[in-house]
């Protein structure tokens, strides 16, 4: 596949997104206005660019983005990190205190555990791509970004406004499997309100990509017995990747 194909696919996914929004509006669902935002980079036909370069340009857009309220209080936007050709992508809910300061995903205690989880299936952190539903730190009290313990999940409007960036990342990287980490990421990607306990342990289809929801690593820090469920899900991911 050429980078032109990547851009064409990207255009298609934006069209699908617009159709989805029109249907939702028809069904009476309130749609946030920036969901139709289109990242601004353009294909240069005569100078094809690599996936890394496309991702870098998208990351520059994210770094400048202030489209939702999270952009006002964040310290650093957290685009994501990893292999542009990754077969496995992890998606969490949003950056926390440490991530906001470093501009990198999953670098706190939960992130260290995620690295161990990845290594448990004989992969390295640099083999996968790690990102979040929203790219800026959602805070309970945005006037106190210096406080620890000030994290909260994103709300649906913030997630909707940020969604084109995640869809673009998925379309560019084309992972074989997306592992949704925790309740909010799983519910948002799968458009459901079911609990993570009910969702985890099986694959779902997401526009041709498999999604495996599992527990957030932070939940394993609070309750060590949760690790056994994550291990079951990760073994399923490992076995599925081996088939391909
Ligand atoms: S969370 Fe997403 S939409 Fe909101 S300011 Fe950050 S990059 Fe922009």
Give residue limits of the domains in the chain: 3-243
CATH annotation of 3-243: 3.40.470.10
Is the distance from the beta carbon of residue 162 to the nearest atom of ligand 1 less than 6 Å?
yes
CA 184 to centroid of ligand 1, rounded, Å: 17
pTM for the predicted model, two decimal places: 0.83
HSE on the CB side for 47, CA within 13 Å? 4
Reported as a pLDDT band with limits 50, 70 and 90, residue 49 is: confident
Q: Looking at residue 71, what is its pLDDT?
A: 96
pLDDT in tens, 86-141: 999 999 999 999 999 999 999 999 999 999 999 999 999 999 999 999 999 999 99
Identify whether the C-beta of residue 109 lies closer than 8 Å to the C-beta of residue 216: no
Task: State which ligand 1 atom lies nearest to the alpha carbon of 68.
Answer: 4
CA 66 to centroid of ligand 1, rounded, Å: 6
- Helix 3-26 / helix 51-64 crossing angle, nearest 10 deg: 40
Task: State which ligand 1 atom lies nearest to the alpha carbon of 71.
Answer: 5
Is the distance from the beta carbon of residue 67 to the nearest atom of ligand 1 less than 6 Å?
yes
Reported as a pLDDT band with limits 50, 70 and 90, residue 37 is: confident
């Amino acid at each position: 596949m050429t980078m032109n194909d990547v851009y064409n696919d990207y255009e298609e996914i934006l069209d699908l997104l617009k159709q989805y929004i029109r249907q939702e509006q028809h069904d009476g669902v309130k749609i946030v206005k920036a969901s139709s935002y289109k990242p601004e980079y353009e294909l240069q036909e005569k100078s094809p660019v690599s996936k890394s370069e496309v991702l870098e340009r998208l990351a520059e857009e994210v770094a400048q983005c202030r489209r939702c309220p999270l952009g006002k209080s964040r310290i650093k936007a957290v685009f994501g990190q990893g292999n542009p050709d990754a077969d496995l992508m992890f998606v969490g809910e949003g950056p926390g205190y440490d991530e906001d300061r470093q501009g990198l995903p999953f670098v706190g205690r939960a992130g260290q555990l995620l690295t161990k989880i990845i290594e448990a299936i004989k992969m390295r952190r640099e083999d996968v791509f790690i990102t979040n539903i929203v790219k800026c730190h959602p805070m309970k009290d945005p006037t106190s970004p210096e406080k620890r313990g000030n994290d909260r999940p994103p709300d649906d409007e913030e997630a909707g406004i940020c969604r084109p960036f995640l869809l673009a990342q998925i379309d560019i990287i084309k992972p074989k499997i997306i592992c949704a980490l925790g309740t909010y990421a799983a519910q948002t990607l799968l458009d459901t309100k079911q609990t993570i306990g009910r969702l985890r342990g099986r694959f779902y289809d997401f526009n041709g990509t498999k999604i495996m929801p599992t527990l957030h690593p932070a939940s394993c820090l609070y309750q060590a017995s949760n690790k056994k469920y994550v291990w079951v899900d990760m073994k399923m991911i490992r076995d599925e990747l081996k088939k391909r």
